[in-house]
Structure 1
Amino acid sequence: MSPSVPSKVIFGRGSWAEARRLADILRQETVGGALLLAAAVAAMIWANSPWSPAYGALREFTVGPAFLHLNLPLAVWAADGLLAIFFFVAGLELKREFVAGDLREPRRAVVPIAAAAGGVVVPALIYLALNHADASAARGWAIPTATDIAFALAVLAVIGRNLPSALRTFLLTLAVVDDLIAIAIIAVFYTQSLHPLPLAAALIPLAAFAVAVQRRHRSPWLLLPLATATWALVHASGIHATVAGVLLAFTVPVRSRPGGDAHGDHDPGLAGHFEHRLRPISAGIAVPIFALLSAGVTIGGLSGLADAFTSGITVGITAGLVIGKTVGVLVATVLVARFTAATLDEGLAWSDVLGLSMLAGVGFTVSLLIGELSFGLGTEADSHAKIAVLGGSILAAALASIVLRIRAKAYRRIAEAEQRDTDHDGVPDLYQTPDAPAVDR
């Protein structure tokens, strides 16, 4: 290597195997993002139409076994039940990335982890700075800390379809790490009353589930009752039930049994099997239904909108998403580059990182969930939070679109190079160069 060539590069190409896998994930999440946006728009229209009482009745409709204390409104089932599927898939993705994916290499993992941490800390500090004098409003400090991967990828599908694969992977990984930080925040800071007995009891089906998946059992007749029991007991403990989704995901083995599959490295393992089955349900059903039952907020005309946007809650969330996310993600990435003496990969510019940092301000699913936990579903503060999440996310997406479109021609050139396959063997030429990741050779 020439002395003039930097030895450390951030946003470099990953392996071809990971590129193919992540491309499939991104396609599914993009479709899910379109459904998410459609559900959110439908909820807003419905909640502000003459049929808004029907919308409220739907959210409050109670269903479930009363003897298990699970006779819950549909809105709660969506937040506690359907989002547990979402977090189970997120947990699987994170474990796969760090155990068997490109991020098992610390030099690749440090950038999205640092960026996610910066994107959590700075928005929270901005929100608290604007609401520190109001103790009730300050409870919402975690609302602007989340990035919605489906929403963000739906925006990318429109304005950044040629974005280099390394940048798409960065955004996906950042959002997944972000979600896992959010679930930790929910467990620690939004558990109002803890009941130790059901929490201890939850360890029994959780352990049984872990043993079953470690023995490579795939039968839903075995695993689904164990997962449901774990979820129900975590719900009864007072900890938000979505935490159960992450705990269950972390027990699932990523790698296939040694010598147990003839496909070798191409076998996705049990985590890959579950992710393949459940991601379409998460992205296409669970998250859109949650959006439909949570995003609807009665604005109350121009006066109601004016009241909302003069609220400290609204200002704090909007500033956190639009300014805090951008600053947190960008500064953390710059610091990693500075302290590791790394440079951007060839063809990329810091304006690309700026655009992605802005796009990280698209917070929706988890932000809405934390808003409900902070202020209570249907309260005025919760309505202000939802308006801020929607408005801030749209503003962040618009600003990111402007920045990323400036580099559209450069992205097209990079995309053409990444897809060129002169020998027609199904593997792009860039992944067969001498410096390509070893797993692809």
Structure 2
Amino acid sequence: MPVPTRKRSPFLTLLPWPERKALAEALRTETVGGLVLLAAAVIALVWANSPWSHSYETVRETHFGISALGLNLSVGHWTSDGLLTLFFLVAGVELKRELVVGELRTPAAAALPVVAAVCGMIVPAVLYVVVAGGGGGSLEGWAVPMATDIAFALAVLAVISTSLPSALRAFLLTLAVVDDLGAIFVIAVFFTSDLNILALLGALAGLVVFYILQRKRVRGWWWYVPLGVVTWGLMYNGGIHATVAGVAMGLILRATADDGTDGRKAEAMSPGDRTAHLLRPYSAAIAVPLFALFAAGVSVSLASLGDVFTRPEPLGVVLGLVVGKTLGIFCGTYLAARFTRARLNPDLSWADVFALSVLAGIGFTVALLIGELAFPDGAVAGHVKAAVLCGSLISAALAALLLKRRDRVYRRLCEVENRDDDADGIPDVYQQGQGEAK
């Protein structure tokens, strides 16, 4: 009688649909996405400082290309110029949504976070110029400490936030979206190589076709994916950083769904929301972590850490992220609320804004990208990468302490309100309303 054998599951097979759906939903949350990004950065640091560090450089510098687009890039450049385009496409969709139906649609609601974002870009850049210029260093990295990493910042806030007001997340998201727009503008204007006008015109034509397809309500990924890839390739060959194509396409995608009242087919989700929903897991699990894997691998030693706090360029980056971001965002918000008609959300206090200002000093992904563009080679490039990591880590640790303290304050307030509600059976909110009515 034959002995029954246990059926083996294939190695590296696709997960069953329920598990895949659950994994995708987890990757759409800021906490999981931030943890995956952090894990990739840790792996990069360990790999680059291990006995197998030569293999890290070998993999990062391995070239392959797409002959049809005239591209032959290293793995490192494919992750920064190619995969990171998905991250910026999702960021473009979020920005479009904020402009159309979110916090940025009304000037009154958008004023404070927009002012905060602008001041949070200008002050770190000025501080870098003062520190690096005063120490005789290069001024090329002035834009490195300008950017806030949405994924990391929201992940820290999501881990800490159990009782914090929801207005805090809305303020941070709006600030980070405007911050990303500013970073893209800086990349497009200040970090371009020799321009190829014909390629840029081709990329512009691709974006125009993309716009027409959206306005004509043309559906089907087979139209947009090839067009997006060609537009991306033309943008890269045109001399402008290719991630700009991702932001442009994200801004073109419609942010409102058709309701069917005007004769058009009703949509459950807008094209922008649907695209972001589909791409966010790939951005969080593949694009951003792979970029971090091949961008954060710097050789770390006591001597190199000493250089971070003694050499002018990395010191300017650290101070720009930790001090410049905090001062720029907090002071900009306070002055706007003090001398204009803009008002802080009544659910927030100035202590919340200060903690949020420190949190915005996490500049990991975009700061590393700008650092690579500003310092493509040489010892300074490694020092600047280490400075971005140190500055982001310091900001994250300080912000976690401050946010945890604010979370305890709000938790105590909630407990007091709950006890008062239980004591008289009448919610405090109702009592307050009755008192104001009297």
Alignment TM class, shorter chain as reference: 0.7 to 0.9
Q: Residues 253 and 46 of structure 1: is their aligned pair in 2 closer, same or farther, counting only changes over 3 Å?
A: same
Residue equivalent to 1:397: 396
Q: Work out the CA distance in 2 between the residues paired with 1:146 and 1:101.
A: 21
Q: Residues 342-421 of structure 1 correspond to what in structure 2 (within 5 A)?
A: 343-346=343-346, 348-376=348-376, 379-412=378-411
Q: Work out the CA distance in 2 between the residues paired with 1:26 and 1:416.
A: 32
SS at match of 1:64: strand
Does the 8 A contact of 1:163 with 1:415 survive in 2? no
Please report how far the alpha carbon of residue 357 of structure 1 lies from its aligned counterpart in structure 2 after TM superposition. 0.3
Please report how far the alpha carbon of residue 99 of structure 1 lies from its aligned counterpart in structure 2 after TM superposition. 0.6
> In terms of mean alpha carbon deviation, does 24-33 or 97-106 score higher?
24-33
Query: Deviation digits for residues 371-428 of structure 1, max 9, x if unmatched?
Result: 0000105x31111111101101111112112222222233336778999xx9xxxxxx
Larger radius of gyration: 2
Q: Residues 253-268 of structure 1 correspond to what in structure 2 (within 5 A)?
A: 253-257=254-258, 259=260, 267-268=268-269
Please report how far the alpha carbon of residue 324 of structure 1 lies from its aligned counterpart in structure 2 after TM superposition. 0.3
SS at match of 1:71: strand
Residue equivalent to 1:273: 274
Q: Residues 260 and 28 of structure 1: is their aligned pair in 2 closer, same or farther, counting only changes over 3 Å?
A: farther
> In terms of mean alpha carbon deviation, does 360-369 or 56-65 score higher?
56-65
SS at match of 2:254: coil
SS at match of 2:29: helix
Residue equivalent to 1:94: 95
User: One-letter code of the match for 1:374?
Assistant: A
User: One-letter code of the match for 1:409?
Assistant: R
Query: Are residues 1:140 and 2:141 paired?
Result: yes
Q: Work out the CA distance in 2 between the residues paired with 1:394 and 1:220.
A: 39
Q: Residues 343 and 68 of structure 1: is their aligned pair in 2 closer, same or farther, counting only changes over 3 Å?
A: closer
Q: Residues 223-238 of structure 1 correspond to what in structure 2 (within 5 A)?
A: 223-238=224-239
Query: Are residues 1:322 and 2:307 paired?
Result: no
> In terms of mean alpha carbon deviation, does 130-139 or 61-70 score higher?
130-139
Does the 8 A contact of 2:36 with 2:285 survive in 1? yes
Q: Work out the CA distance in 2 between the residues paired with 1:118 and 1:265.
A: 41
Identity %: 51
Q: Work out the CA distance in 2 between the residues paired with 1:113 and 1:188.
A: 20
Query: Are residues 1:108 and 2:109 paired?
Result: yes
Q: Residues 38-437 of structure 1 correspond to what in structure 2 (within 5 A)?
A: 38-66=39-67, 68-132=69-133, 137-257=138-258, 259=260, 267-299=268-300, 301-341=301-341, 343-346=343-346, 348-376=348-376, 379-412=378-411
Q: Work out the CA distance in 1 between the residues paired with 2:288 and 2:101.
A: 27
SS at match of 2:153: helix
Q: Work out the CA distance in 2 between the residues paired with 1:206 and 1:39.
A: 33
Please report how far the alpha carbon of residue 197 of structure 1 lies from its aligned counterpart in structure 2 after TM superposition. 1.0
User: One-letter code of the match for 2:35?
Assistant: A
Q: Work out the CA distance in 1 between the residues paired with 2:396 and 2:104.
A: 27
User: One-letter code of the match for 2:362?
Assistant: V
Does the 8 A contact of 2:137 with 2:313 survive in 1? no
SS at match of 2:148: coil
Q: Work out the CA distance in 2 between the residues paired with 1:86 and 1:249.
A: 10
Please report how far the alpha carbon of residue 34 of structure 1 lies from its aligned counterpart in structure 2 after TM superposition. 0.6
Does the 8 A contact of 2:30 with 2:158 survive in 1? no
| Structure 1: runs of 5 or more not aligned | 1-23, 423-428, 435-441
Q: Residues 346 and 136 of structure 1: is their aligned pair in 2 closer, same or farther, counting only changes over 3 Å?
A: closer
Q: Work out the CA distance in 1 between the residues paired with 2:136 and 2:172.
A: 33
Query: Deviation digits for residues 252-287 of structure 1, max 9, x if unmatched?
Result: 111223535999999431111111111222122211
User: One-letter code of the match for 1:338?
Assistant: R
Q: Residues 414 and 156 of structure 1: is their aligned pair in 2 closer, same or farther, counting only changes over 3 Å?
A: farther
Q: Residues 127 and 25 of structure 1: is their aligned pair in 2 closer, same or farther, counting only changes over 3 Å?
A: farther
Q: Work out the CA distance in 2 between the residues paired with 1:189 and 1:345.
A: 35
Please report how far the alpha carbon of residue 342 of structure 1 lies from its aligned counterpart in structure 2 after TM superposition. 5.3
Q: Work out the CA distance in 2 between the residues paired with 1:345 and 1:339.
A: 16
User: One-letter code of the match for 1:359?
Assistant: L
Does the 8 A contact of 1:36 with 1:291 survive in 2? yes
Q: Residues 241 and 385 of structure 1: is their aligned pair in 2 closer, same or farther, counting only changes over 3 Å?
A: same
Does the 8 A contact of 1:28 with 1:283 survive in 2? no
Query: Deviation digits for residues 194-232 of structure 1, max 9, x if unmatched?
Result: 111100111222111111122223312110010011100
Tell me how large the CA RMSD over aligned residues is. 2.9
Residue equivalent to 1:17: none
Q: Work out the CA distance in 2 between the residues paired with 1:293 and 1:60.
A: 10
Residue equivalent to 2:34: 33
Does the 8 A contact of 1:330 with 1:357 survive in 2? yes
Does the 8 A contact of 2:260 with 2:267 survive in 1? no
Please report how far the alpha carbon of residue 169 of structure 1 lies from its aligned counterpart in structure 2 after TM superposition. 1.1
TM-score using structure 1 length: 0.84
**Alignment: residue pair count:** 399
Q: Residues 104 and 343 of structure 1: is their aligned pair in 2 closer, same or farther, counting only changes over 3 Å?
A: closer
User: One-letter code of the match for 2:371?
Assistant: G
Q: Work out the CA distance in 2 between the residues paired with 1:412 and 1:215.
A: 50
Please report how far the alpha carbon of residue 154 of structure 1 lies from its aligned counterpart in structure 2 after TM superposition. 2.2
| Structure 2: runs of 5 or more not aligned | 1-24, 422-427, 434-438
Does the 8 A contact of 1:46 with 1:55 survive in 2? yes
SS at match of 2:71: coil
Q: Residues 27 and 220 of structure 1: is their aligned pair in 2 closer, same or farther, counting only changes over 3 Å?
A: closer
Query: Deviation digits for residues 129-150 of structure 1, max 9, x if unmatched?
Result: 1122678721100000000111
Please report how far the alpha carbon of residue 69 of structure 1 lies from its aligned counterpart in structure 2 after TM superposition. 2.7
User: One-letter code of the match for 1:117?
Assistant: V
User: One-letter code of the match for 1:99?
Assistant: V
